[in-house]
Amino acid sequence: MLSRRIVVGAFAALSLSAHALAHPHNVLTNEQHGDIERQIMAFRAALKDAVVARDAARLKGMYAESFTHTHGSGKVDGRDARIVSLLTDDPTIEMASASELSLRVHGPDMVVLTGKSPIRNTRENRDYDFRWVQVYSRASGEWQLVVSQATRLPTTS
């Protein structure tokens, strides 16, 4: 009976080893991580350039087809509505100055970026601070913005 346990245990260990070898984890080197960070920051700059140039076609390629943005109010916009907001100079996190940036690389093809930005409320002619998150994904070798969300911070006196 002991030999059967050894055989079953060895088979289980071999199965687990084969599975681990078949699906290796994507561990990024510091250099790869830094390169992805630079790519995302360059993407953000290119997005601003496309807005300034009023290049709707380029912007459409920079946002995933399924892109959504959730506003601080809870309103949700899709890709086309977001591009309209950008091209009509609505205040957006993409165009606002940003601080407290935190970029987390989740493998070679996904990045989560968080930050804080002042966003102008045009009706009140006043800035409010927002914390926001953006998720980037690489498809066919190109980065795209796939989702973003902004939350208005409480005002301080």
Average pLDDT over residues 114-135: 94
| Residue among 44, 34, 32 nearest 114 (CA) | 44
Q: What band does 8 get if pLDDT is binned at 50, 70 and 90?
A: very low
- Look up residue 110 and give its two tokens: 């996904």
Compute CA distances 28 → 25, 34, 47, 109, 112, whole Å.
9, 10, 26, 11, 16
**DSSP conformation letters of 96-120:** S--EEEEEEE-STTEEEEEEEEEEE
pLDDT tens digits along 77-99 = 999 999 999 999 999 999 999 99
Q: Are 145 and 47 in contact (CB under 8 A)?
A: yes
**Residue whose structure tokens are 């790869």:** 32
The pTM of the whole model exceeds 0.75: yes
The reported pLDDT for the residue numbered 81 is 97
- Give the pairing of strands 110-121 and 142-152: unpaired
Average pLDDT, the chain: 87
Average pLDDT over residues 5-10: 47
User: Which residues, other chains included, contact 115 with Cβ-Cβ below 8 Å and sequence gap of 6+?
Assistant: 93, 98, 99, 100, 101, 102, 131, 132
Long-range contacts of 27-31 (CB under 8 A, 24+ apart): 28/105, 28/107, 28/108
User: Which residues, other chains included, contact 126 with Cβ-Cβ below 8 Å and sequence gap of 6+?
Assistant: 120
Average pLDDT over residues 63-90: 96
